[in-house]
Amino acid sequence: YASLYFCCAIEDQDNELITLEIIHRYVELLDKYFGSVCELDIIFNFEKAYFILDEFLLGGEVQETSKKNVLKAIEQADLLQEEAETPRSVLEEIGLT
């Protein structure tokens, strides 16, 4: 994965080969989101990496097997975040209004 290494801890009875698929799916999601993901993308946007992971896995289990659905959820959340970031005046910034 272009010099990206991933480490995953699983339990005794877990299927190792499907774990490889899980890692692969996560990389694909990152790739789609960042556009050819590389190390720097993850470093400078670590919180995004977490958010994407949280839409794919929950409590250590796979929650969504459709790539499309995961990416859609992230997109919507990002939109929400942007809307919330309404432009503020300088005065607002320093608490004067």
Q: Which residues bind other proteins (CB under 8 A)?
A: 15-18, 20-22, 24-25, 43-44, 46-47, 50-51, 54-55, 58-59, 61-69, 73, 76-77, 80-81, 83-85, 88, 90, 92-96
CB of 2 to other proteins, least distance (A): 19
Closest to other proteins by CB, 6 or 69: 69
DSSP output for 32-62: HHHTS--HHHHHHTHHHHHHHHHHHEETTEE
CB of 36 to other proteins, least distance (A): 19
Q: Yes or no: say if 4 and 38 are a contact pair by the CB < 8 Å rule.
A: yes
Q: Yes or no: say if 34 and 4 are a contact pair by the CB < 8 Å rule.
A: no
CB of 87 to other proteins, least distance (A): 13
Six token digits for residue 30: 């990152």
Closest to other proteins by CB, 6 or 20: 20
